[in-house]
Amino acid sequence: MSKLIIYGDIHGCLDELITLRKKIKVKSEDIEVCVGDIITKGSNSNKTLKFLRKKGIFSVLGNNEDVLLKYINEKDKRALIKLDEDRKNIVKNLSLKDIEFLNALPYFIQIDRYTIVHGGLQNYMKLDNLNKRDKDKILRMRYLSPDGNTLIKYGNETKKSVFWADIYDGSNGFVIYGHQRFKEPRLSPFAIGLDTGCVYGDKLTALVIEEGEKRFVSINFGERDV
Ligand SMILES: [Mn+2]
C-alpha cells in the first residue's frame, strides 16, 4: 500500500527534510505533498526547491512563495515589494525550471477526502469557484472575527478572535494546513495543522496516512541521524 505523506512548512530546512524522509522510509510509490512555505528563512531554500523537483514532491503555494512570484512576475510592481537579503539571494539563484515549478504551485491539492492548503479555509468558500480575494485568504488565514466572517490581520488577534480551523465545518474535506506555528501538530474536528516551526529551531513534522491510519513523524531542527 502506498502512503500519503504531507510535510509541514519546510522553509529551506533541507537536511531535516532528508532525515525525516529516511525516518518515514519513503518509497517510490508514496505520494508526498508540502503545505507550502517550502522556501525562505532557512539556510537551503534553492537546494530544497531542486530536491522537491527531483523527487517529484508536490506542494501547494505558500504566502512566502507568493511574495517571490509577485516580485518575479509583476515587474512593474517590483518597487513596492521589499525583499530581504535571503529572498534576494533566492531569486538570484532560481533556475528557469525552479520558476516554472513555483508558478505551477496550486492554492489547494485534493487527494481522496483530504484537502491540502497553506493557511486555511472559510466555510463559505467553494474550491471550484475561488475569487482572487479567497485565494489570497487561503494563503494567509489564521484568526477570524468571533462570527467567523472577517480575517484578522497578523498580530491583531484578540482573545475573542477564533482560529479558523476551530469553526471549520469540513465542507471542503478534511484540511491539512501549515502557516500558523504550533508546538505540536494541531488537531481540530476537520483539520490538522502541521507547522511545528523547524526553521525557528523546533521541529519538522509530517502527517503519514497509510491504509486510513494517521500518524505524525517529526525531526528536530539539526537532527541528522535516525
Ligand atoms: Mn506561511
Provide the residue-wise pLDDT of the chain in tens; the chain has 226 residues: 899 999 999 999 999 999 999 999 999 999 999 999 999 999 999 999 999 999 999 999 999 999 999 999 998 888 888 899 999 999 999 999 999 999 999 999 999 999 999 999 999 999 999 999 999 999 999 999 999 999 999 899 999 999 999 999 999 999 999 999 999 999 999 999 999 999 999 999 999 999 989 999 999 999 988 7
Distance CA 158, CA 136 (A): 22
In a domain, 196, yes or no: yes
Q: How many Å from the N-terminal Cα to the C-terminal Cα in the chain?
A: 23
Rounded to the nearest 5 percent, the helix, strand and coil shares of the chain are 30, 20, 45
Distance CA 191, CA 8 (A): 13
In a domain, 136, yes or no: no
Question: In terms of residue numbers, what domain contains 54?
Answer: 4-118+174-220
Return the CATH number at 210: 3.60.21.10
Secondary structure of residue 90 in the 3-state scheme: helix
Neighbours of ion ligand 1 (CB under 5 A): 37, 62-63, 179
In a domain, 137, yes or no: no
**Number of structural domains, the chain?**
1
In a domain, 23, yes or no: yes
In a domain, 178, yes or no: yes
Distance CA 125, CA 160 (A): 23
195 Cα: distance to centroid of ligand 1 (angstroms)? 9
In a domain, 149, yes or no: no
176 Cα: distance to centroid of ligand 1 (angstroms)? 13
87 Cα: distance to centroid of ligand 1 (angstroms)? 14
